[in-house]
Amino acid sequence: MARLSSIKIHLNINIMRERIRNKFQELFATEGSVYASPGRINLIGEHTDYNGGFVFPGAIDKGMIAEIKPNGLDKVRAFSVDLNDYAEFGLKEEDAPKASWARYIFGVCREIIKRGGDVKGFDTVFAGDVPLGAGMSSSAALESTYAFALNDLYNLNIDKFELAKIGQSTEHNYCGVNCGIMDQFASVFGAKGSLIRLDCRSLEYKYFPFNPVGYKLVLLDSVVKHELASSAYNKRRQSCENAAAAIRRNHPEVEFLRDATMDMLDEVKNDISAEDYMRAEYVIGEVQRVLDVCDALEKGDYETVGQKMYETHYGMSKQYEVSCEELDYLNDIAKKCGVTGSRVMGGGFGGCTINLVKEEKYDAFIKEAFKSYTEKFGHEPKLYEVVISDGARKLA
């Protein structure tokens, strides 16, 4: 089996579609329906989810595409084009396949069945072009492709939010990843030209226009992942809880840091550690920045959007301390090259920066980023241009 991370996947949807069609025909001698679902970016709103705040994702023009047809059997026969790997599995809890890619499909089937959906055996072939583990959520793209497809094929009438939750439960129960709802939500609800503000407490959401004419949105992947991530994450969460608990003594209505203001935080400055204070300062600022970016987008003010992205980077680097040398370096280059907005995307300690770049500055920025980064760190960053696109759908 080829290693997925070593495969260059960055393909046009039509090429992928032809590949899966050919393979489906070869394996099953018939034709099925075709579905697609995207990966996602998050423009702003990092470490806000577990503080009851907002995130602001959008679906991208990279995703998963799958052909699928019920086979009249009690088993699923699935082929991954990118891994050149085949798996067969039943639909009972004890039938879980070994291959990790197949567990995503199995998990989606199981989660639908647990909710009373009548899923039967099917044949499927799929491929994708979301870079793996780069922070664009290839796994959510995979889950929502199958959740959407099975819902449609078997007329299950599951609403879109539940489709996202089926993907999330798949990660929790079959893939060992205790994720929030943002990735699957964005993959299912995404819409071309829109970002979606999701309130992580109420799960209310609202679309905002994102049509940065004259700008490009580009991710620069540092290609590093520092090991600190999970213990640091737990410590950050604890700091947030400490600060919220201290504030709550004066203001009982504060359930999460999302409800707090800087004035409230200052009231308890002497009751909490300097570190907890700094972490809370970041979160309170970040919740507000998401709202500010939404206001700016309604006015088409991309300069303010960019400014807020830089502020988030500063906060993640200096207050929340979840950046790293490589990401700070990429952010500095962006600043030097006059990039409109740039920040670390995702939880931190590695992964990508997301950059909003004026078209006329784009080539010089990319050239400089590749040159300087490679000189300093001995390896190139990776580049992914993204366009905000539609969510899960059936292809005609």
Least distance (Å) between residue 139 CB and Mg ion? 3
In 31-94, alpha helices (H)? none
Least distance (Å) between residue 328 CB and ligand ADP? 22
Rounded to whole angstroms, what are the CA distances from 252 to 51, 52, 202, 264, 285? 16, 16, 19, 11, 21
Radius of gyration from C-alpha coordinates of the chain: 22
Least distance (Å) between residue 5 CB and ligand ADP? 8
Q: With CB under 5 A as the rule, give the number of residues binding Mg ion.
A: 2
Least distance (Å) between residue 144 CB and ligand ADP? 12
CA–CA gap between residue 133 and residue 51 (Å, rounded): 24
Sheet holding 57-70, edge to edge: 85-90, 75-80, 122-128, 57-70, 33-42, 393-395
Is 87 within 8 Å of 1 (Cβ atoms)?
A: no
Choose among Mg ion, ligand ADP, none what residue 37 binds, the Cβ cut-off being 5 to 8 Å by kind: none
The nearer residue to Mg ion, 139 or 340, going by C-beta atoms, is 139
Please give the full DSSP string across 221-273, using - where no structure is assigned: EEEEE-TTHHHHHHHHHHHHHHHHHHHHHH-TT--SGGG--HHHHHHTTTTS-
CA–CA gap between residue 386 and residue 396 (Å, rounded): 23
Among residues 49, 123, 129, 183, which one is catalytic? 183
Residue 47: which of 292, 274, 281 has the closest Cα? Answer: 281
The nearer residue to ligand ADP, 170 or 340, going by C-beta atoms, is 170
The nearer residue to Mg ion, 51 or 137, going by C-beta atoms, is 137
The distance from CA 241 to its chain's CA centroid, rounded to whole angstroms, is: 24
199 is catalytic: no
The nearer residue to Mg ion, 51 or 139, going by C-beta atoms, is 139
Least distance (Å) between residue 175 CB and Mg ion? 8
Residues 178-207 interacting with Mg ion (rule: CB under 5 A):
none
Choose among ligand ADP, Mg ion, none what residue 83 binds, the Cβ cut-off being 5 to 8 Å by kind: ligand ADP
Nearest residue to ligand ADP, scored by beta-carbon proximity: 128
CA–CA gap between residue 144 and residue 140 (Å, rounded): 6
Residue 151: which of 127, 115, 104, 183 has the closest Cα? Answer: 115
The nearer residue to ligand ADP, 136 or 287, going by C-beta atoms, is 136
List residues near ligand ADP by CB under 6 A.
Answer: 4, 80, 82-83, 100-101, 104, 127-128, 132-133, 137-139, 142
Least distance (Å) between residue 40 CB and ligand ADP? 10
- String of contacts with Mg ion for each residue 123-152, x by CB under 5 A: --------------x-x-------------
Choose among Mg ion, ligand ADP, none what residue 293 binds, the Cβ cut-off being 5 to 8 Å by kind: none
Q: Which two tokens stand for residue 101?
A: 């890619």
Choose among ligand ADP, Mg ion, none what residue 100 binds, the Cβ cut-off being 5 to 8 Å by kind: ligand ADP
Binding site for Mg ion (CB under 5 A): 137, 139
Which residues are designated catalytic?
A: 183
